[in-house]
Copies of this chain bind each other. A is one copy, B any other.
């Protein structure tokens, strides 16, 4: 069970219970837009060392929480730690993104995959979680996370970032049974990984389905949502984990939020293309919603940022169950001072929505 938190606004909102003001955190809040992050990154030498060294991961996780009045910290890590632990050999190349030394190239490659022993193979993540929890001293909750099986699979098959995901989408239609085999092993790995993060102390878990939105609705249900649902249900079936809220975020999944709400998750992340008021009506209070200011708003003036924050808050309205966030990760060229404007605007302007 998590220790008592000084600021538990995030957890309360995720349970759709009343809060004094809308909690806010920011996707990629520990990231390149912060000079202190860039300094730590340079000291580490490369991105993966930052992920794999608990002291460094802890340091960058805490940076945005120290600088801004955020209502949550999120573990600094990467969605590709799992395939790296499966032996694919992850490298993260500056300005090019992730690459695997040994991508999946055949059915045999898939059949040889094993669920990693997360407690040993990904021990550096759990060590980071324990260290961060200690350093946070209950100030704000810590969010753990994993990539969705589909999203991890796309990288494993493409071998790197891709524009069209031709290989992964080709396998989905051409060899669906192989794709299911891969997604099955990945969903078991993600389940173990998230349970292990919870055991190490995270207060919330989030599944990033970054590439679910490139699928048709039928393929999304069969190849992405189905596996996320299994993970949610496995987590909720374990008494130690079941009180930990689970957030699902499918970028580009705005058409399917009714389906996502049926997965058993506690909250849905919605991207900036969705009207969050419409999303609330469509999900009917069944889940909390997280989002969804357009990241590009942060290129504009403080007055414009405040006005756009006000519009998102007004769109969501007076109901409980809103966690403010951007609609996707913050861009590296955003001025950090704009983030302060955003965070303060959310807290200040949301008070009237929480008067009851």
- Which residues of A are interface residues toward B (Cβ below 8 A)? 164-166, 169-170, 172-174, 213-220, 252, 254-255, 272-275, 278, 294-297, 299-301, 304, 308, 311, 327, 331, 333
Contact = CB atoms under 8 A, between A and B. Distances in A.
A325 to B, nearest CB: 14
B218 A172 contact: no
B173 A299 contact: yes
A174 B294 CA distance: 13
A327 B166 CA distance: 14
A174 B254 contact: no
A273 B311 CA distance: 27
A273 B173 contact: no
16 contacts: A164-B331, A170-B296, A170-B300, A173-B299, A173-B304, A173-B308, A174-B300, A216-B272, A216-B294, A217-B273, A217-B274, A218-B311, A220-B273, A252-B252, A254-B254, A254-B255
A257 to B, nearest CB: 10
Given A273-B213, A333-B166, A297 B255 contact: no
A93 to B, nearest CB: 15
B169 A294 contact: yes
Contacts of A215: 273, 294
A274 to B, nearest CB: 6
B296 A173 contact: yes
Nearest to A271: B216
A173 B300 contact: yes
A301 B174 contact: yes
Given A294-B216, A308-B173, A273 B300 contact: no
A180 B50 CA distance: 43
Contacts of A296: 164-166, 169-170, 172-173
A216 to B, nearest CB: 5
Given A216-B272, A275-B217, A173 B294 contact: yes
A333 B165 CA distance: 12
Contacts of A272: 216
A289 to B, nearest CB: 15
A139 B294 CA distance: 47
Contacts of A214: 273
A174 B299 contact: yes
Contact of A219 (B170, B255, B294, B304): B294
Given A174-B304, A218-B311, A294-B173, A166 B331 contact: yes
Contacts of A278: 217
Contacts of A304: 173-174
A246 to B, nearest CB: 24
Contacts of A219: 294
B331 A299 contact: no
Contacts of A170: 296, 299-300
A2 to B, nearest CB: 34
Contact of A252 (B216, B273, B301): B273
A272 B272 CA distance: 20
Q: Report the 4 A-B pairs with minimum CB-CB distance, sorted nearest first.
A: A169-B296, A170-B299, A174-B300, A173-B300
A26 B169 CA distance: 19
Contacts of A333: 166
Nearest to A327: B216
Given A173-B304, A252-B273, A299 B166 contact: yes
